[in-house]
Structure 1
Amino acid sequence: MEANDLRSYISSHKNIFVLRNKQFRDSKLVIDGCNLYHTLYFTSGLDQAQGGEYGDFETVVRNFFKNLKECRIKPYVVLDGGDGGEDGDDGEFRNLKKKGEITIRKAHALSTGRLRNVLPILVKTVFVQILRKLEVPFVQCVAKAQWETAALANEWNCPVLSNKADFYIYDMKGGLLPLWSFQWNILSLLNQSGEKFVRAKEYFVERLRPRRRRLLPVFATIASNDDIHLDKGSLPNWAKPSKGSTATKDIDALFKWLSKFKKQKQAINGVLSHITDPAYSDKVHNVLTQGLEDYQLYLSSIAEFFTSGTALPDSSPCLPEWTLQQLAKGKLDTVVMDVLAKQRTVLSFPVENSLYSSSNRTSQPIRQTIYALLLGVTDGAYVEEYDREELEITSSRVEAVLPSKVVPNLQLETLKDVKYGALGSVLSYWPLGTQHATSCHLVGLGYKRIPNNLKLSYSMVAKAKQQFFRPRQRLALKHVSHYSFSTMFRPCQKCFASDFWVLYC
């Protein structure tokens, strides 16, 4: 069973997960940022195959927050971070790789003319820029943001806006507003007062029957965790499932089977009693215990960030204090945390011809330099990169290498004081090393893997587009240029090495 199966089950069983109409206005709203920018982009009919329509995407995002303001709704956006940090869950990283494999296949299908939802690789960067322009409060978490999002909303007694299934499990005081039900683009008037509101559906765990409410975390942990595989034939009185796909039938049967237990501990013992392998039983027990803990809400660590700007706490000793502040403000990409904490990263997968090499290879020497700067070494350090090989996701150990012209003895603690001139030589690799220029290679180098401060000047890229790309490709890159060079480096402007990864990846 997977998280997608749980989501499908919840959406198809509204008799259990009861939704009620809501006239939403005049309130705080904690927003699942990643879910929001995915939904806004995919539901707005914007281009996915030609690199993205970021100008039109900005219009959609602006309209969304403008309508919230008209209803006196105060948004607080929470964004996902890295894959879990030094002590992060390897299951989360497996899910990340699995999502990468799915994206590769979707991107391939889209490149051949079939319709698939593939998010252009700069959407998150553009979304953060727009939030900053609109002065919408937001925070980027160190790891996955679901728990922090739910805890913040629970602390503030306001709802969460998201489509993710996890938020149906958290017992939040302010409840959940499913994003699919949130009619933000058609505002309604409240009686004759002229005040506006957004029509939505609201969901509360407390409206479930008491037994279902208590057992919901056990059910969700089993149903969404790939490490738990139950043989339904070994479970007595396996309930007769309702109609639906095989996966949702199994989830329905599991929910009905668990409902015979009164308490969480009884349900866990009931599951373990039908597992004969002691080692696997211990593993399942640990997963279930951790799952119950993960669904318990207490004070959020990001509330103080919104009120005072305090950096987020972190359990990993690999991350310097100054990186936490930049991560939280969205000025430092979460790949930095992945490299520092675990020396690994899953690269982005743009829409491209899968028969050719991945466009990420073009910028690998630049990433090698960034890895060396982050890890503070001159040789012997490697980062495990996950990239595309045709339609498969593969890993390779990439050495962290400093160019020969770079000042020696660079250290992470003093890196922000090193001037830009020491780093510029690595940029010469692209014009000298690329034999066959494509739009994906330009995106891979100029827009995704180099921060704004170090990107080629707008005039140079415009000339490159005229020289190397066909008219349709040039049109596809139109909106990307607008955002990529909005804060480009100017010769009279001081630039330090810390800017080298401010918007890296």
Structure 2
Amino acid sequence: MGIQGLTTLIKHHYPSRTWRTVTPRGKLVLDGKNVSEIVIDKNWLHGGQYGEPRDHFIRFFRRLSDSGIDPIVIFDGVDYNREKSDTKLHRKKEKVKKVFNAILEDRITDSVVPIFTDIVFCETLKELGVEFIFADGDADRDTARIANHYNCPVVANDSDYFIFNLKAGYIPLDCLYWDQQPVKAKLYERDQFAYKFYFDHNPDLIYLIPAIMGNDFMKRMKPRSLSGAIADASQKAKISGTEMKQDEKLDMLYYISTFDTVKDFMTHLSEVCQDSEICSIKKNYEKAKELYDVGEISMVDLRESKNLKTANGTLLPRFIRQEYRKGCFATSVMAVLVLNESTIPVMVDSPHDYTAMRIGEHIRKCIYMILSPYLSKPEVIETTFTHHMEDPHPREERVRWTDVRLNLPYIDDMQYLSKNERIEILCRVLETPFEVQMIFIKSELIWKLVAVSLHYWSQHAHPDIHLIEALVLCFIHCSFDETVCPSSDLPDYKRNKMWLEALHIFAQWKSTYYDAFRLNNVLMNPLPFMSPALLFNGKLIMHYACTREFIMHKRKILESSSAKTLFEKLMSVCT
């Protein structure tokens, strides 16, 4: 993420211990994706223990609040210009490989973000009343512009922020000491960086760093002629006793700083590089300056931004834009509206089975049908990654909805339908019988989306009764017990055939609930949404599925009459 190699360079040659220590107060702008991933469960192999990150998020933001900090969180939006499509596909591919290696070869090489992590984070922000917004596209520029508007630092974990012209500086996440009172931080200031590396005579020279080193939007430039010129300059500097070091990236920084202007640098390139290389570097520089040299924008103005257009070229309806900004219209659904495309999430799933997301194909077709007036084609291109290949590649499928035998309204109609009418549509899509619909009403409405998803899952995944009981018991435990069950207290079970089958079955439930959540969004949220943090603990559910003491656990958890009644109702939905 960010500029290749820049974090390492700064860590070695401009370490945070040399930065100014500050005690943040007032506004602080946070990169949502970065913050949501700092607490990724290292034991993600069971599909996610979502209560644990929720507790961590709550503690994190309460510590900020106790220290007088008023955070604003900015989330990534849709890659509407397709500038990061290659980067995104590469990351999906790497995620599949990590899952494959971890499950089959018992090699957990890196963290994998479980499917509900971002949703749990967003729901927790709503619960805490923390201000947040979804950007149109990549959030970095908007994060920087909002920080400039409020004249406050950015908190993130992205080397791009070393280059942005931030008025109040940048605090890397590991330099925000939030677990102490008052909260303190180490503040990176670009002016000081420029002074350290001799860029202070012309700040525009700093944009040559991403232009040459590359980032998520630009490929790294590696012309041999330029590398040779840098090496020659480094050798001459070494002989003369000046500061250039034996470090390729550091040498490049000092080399750039020897020029008075960007124009001088480009003129010099004409003497050492080919025309095509000069053209590419010049193009990258212009792109980098546009990206990193930002102004400011208020939250009010960002909410009214109209950069996003539908796939058929029309303006996005205001009511959809408003729902999207406040986290009530999934980014993945917005991507369908804007791009006519959908990238299916990578699940923590058995490598021996086709992706668990297959179970929601009917639900997704209905979503596409409802969105169809704004699509440019009568089909949506779904990109899927599967787990059964060591070198996975994206598989594209053109999905049509002509076989959907339901008379569904279009998205514009949702404004004029009552809540009950929209609930009825959701139940029709999820094939929910009337008797199941009537189980959870009014006071228990919070469980209705869970119940209809549970019914759909049981009819399409055909789980064994023991696995149904394990899942429902997990729901009861997570929603009734205020203390999160630490995953470290639970044993690891042998990853045999039974374990893999259970992993796949539970991945199918998560897939169903994920698509039901998106359908609920498209219908303008007629049903309340219960956070997965209050439902699903992957390690706990695998414990219930694999332990011989299941009956004993069941008896203990269902001691209260309310827990037992809810358990019986949820089981009746499936059986």
Residue 107 (structure 1) aligned to one of 95, 99, 107: 99
What is residue 263 of structure 1 aligned with on the other side? 261
SS in 1 for 2:428: helix
Look up the match of 2:56. Answer: 60
C-alpha deviation, 1:299, in angstroms: 2.3
Using a 3 Å threshold, how does the CA distance of structure 1 residues 433 and 175 change in structure 2: closer, same or farther?
same
Out of 318, 323, 329, the position equivalent to 2:320 is 323
TM-score normalised over the length of structure 2: 0.69
CA-CA distance at 1:71 after TM superposition: 1.1
For the residue of structure 2 that corresponds to 1:3, the secondary structure is: coil
CA distance in structure 2 between the partners assigned to 1:457 and 1:132 by the alignment: 12
Other structure's SS at 1:376 match: helix
The amino acid of 1:184's aligned partner reads W
Rounded to whole Å, the distance in 2 between the matches of 1:234 and 1:21 is: 35
1:426 pairs with one of 415, 429, 435: 429
Aligned-partner Cα distance in 2 for 1:381–1:122: 29
Shift of 1:417: 3.7
What secondary structure does 2:183 align onto? strand
Q: Deviations over 1:445-491 (max 9, x none)?
A: 12455346699999xxx9xx9xxx8644599xx9xxxxxxxxxxxxx
Match of 1:369 among 362, 366, 370: 366
Q: What secondary structure does 2:125 align onto?
A: helix
Give the aligned partner of residue 132 of structure 2.
Answer: 138
| Residue identity opposite 2:98 in structure 1 | K
Whichever of the two has the greater Rg, that structure is 2
**Residues 154, 2 of structure 1: CA spacing in aligned structure 2 closer, same or farther, 3 A cutoff?**
closer
1:87-102 equivalent positions in 2, closer than 5 A: 88=81, 90-102=82-94
AA in 1 matched with 2:151: N
User: Which amino acid in structure 1 is aligned with residue 27 of structure 2?
Assistant: K
C-alpha distance in 2, partners of 1:412/1:267? 53
Q: Which residue of 2 aligns with 1:191?
A: none
Shift of 1:122: 0.6
In the other structure, the counterpart of 2:341 is 344
Residue 232 of structure 1 is matched in structure 2 by 224
Deviation at 1:263, TM superposition (A): 1.4
In the aligned structure 2, how far is the partner of 1:170 from the partner of 1:354? 41
Give the SS at the match of 2:401: coil
Moved more, 413-422 or 21-30: 413-422
Inter-partner Cα distance in structure 1 for 2:462 and 2:271:
62
User: Relative to 1, partners in 2 of residues 1:223 and 1:136: Cα closer, same or farther, differing over 3 Å?
Assistant: same
Residue correspondence of structure 1 range 24-103 to structure 2 within 5 A:
24-39=23-38, 41-42=39-40, 47-83=43-79, 85=80, 88=81, 90-103=82-95
1:445 to 490, 512, 518: 512
Residue type of the alignment partner of 2:112: V
* Matches for 1:55-454 after TM superposition, within 5 Å: 55-83=51-79, 85=80, 88=81, 90-112=82-104, 113-115=106-108, 116-187=110-181, 197-207=182-192, 208-209=194-195, 210-211=200-201, 213-225=203-215, 226-239=218-231, 240=234, 249-271=247-269, 274-276=272-274, 278=276, 281-300=278-297, 302-304=299-301, 310-316=303-309, 317-318=313-314, 319-376=316-373, 381-389=378-386, 390-391=388-389, 392-401=392-401, 404-407=404-407, 410-417=409-416, 419-420=421-422, 421-428=424-431, 430-434=457-461, 438-447=505-514, 450-451=517-518
The answer as to whether partners of 2:4 and 2:213 remain within 8 angstroms in 1 is: no
Q: What do the CA deviations read for 1:15-49 (whole angstroms, capped 9, x no partner)?
A: 6x88424241432111111111101x13xx56412
| One-letter identity of the residue aligned with 1:406 | L
Deviation at 1:91, TM superposition (A): 3.4
Contact 1:272 1:284 in 2 (8 A): no
Deviations along 1:268-315, whole A, 9 cap, x unmatched? 44446655354x65454333212111111112253545xxxx433325
Distance in 1 of aligned mates of 2:96 and 2:256? 37
Relative distance call for 1:424 and 1:218 in structure 2 (3 A) is same
- What is the identity, as a one-letter code, of the residue corresponding to 2:77? G
Contact 2:365 2:404 in 1 (8 A): no
Shift of 1:212: 7.2
| In 2: Cα distance, 1:152 partner to 1:36 partner | 17
Q: Distance in 2 between matches of 1:456 and 1:72?
A: 32
Work out the CA distance in 2 between the residues paired with 1:347 and 1:125.
16
Q: Which amino acid aligns with 1:72?
A: G
Aligned residues: 442
Residues 55, 298 of structure 1: alpha-carbon distance in 2 compared, 3 angstrom cutoff: same
Structure 2 residue identity aligned to 1:200: A
Question: Is this contact kept in 2: 1:363–1:445, CA < 8 A?
Answer: yes
| Matched residue type, 2:58 | R
Helix, strand or coil at the partner of 1:438: helix
When the two chains are superposed, the root-mean-square deviation of aligned CA atoms in Å is: 3.5
Q: d(CA) in 2 for partners of 1:111 and 1:456?
A: 35
Deviation at 1:141, TM superposition (A): 0.7
CA distance in 1, matches of 2:263, 2:34: 33
Letter in 2 for 1:169: I
Q: What CA distance in whole angstroms lies between the structure 1 residues aligned with 2:144 and 2:60?
A: 22
Q: How far, CA to CA, are the matches of 1:96 and 1:273 in structure 2?
A: 37
Distance in 2 separating the partners of 1:347 and 1:281: 39
Change (3 A) 1:118 1:448: farther
Unaligned runs of 5+ in 1: 188-196, 242-247, 479-505
Structure 2 counterpart of 1:203, which letter?
A: Y
Return the alpha-carbon distance in structure 2 between the equivalents of residues 324 and 251 of structure 1: 43
CA shift in 2, pair 1:75/1:19, >3 Å: farther
> What is the CA–CA distance in structure 2 between the aligned matches of 1:457 and 1:14, rounded to whole Å?
46
Deviation at 1:199, TM superposition (A): 2.4
Distance in 2 (CA, whole Å) between partners of 1:427 and 1:261 is 64
Counterpart position of 1:22: 21
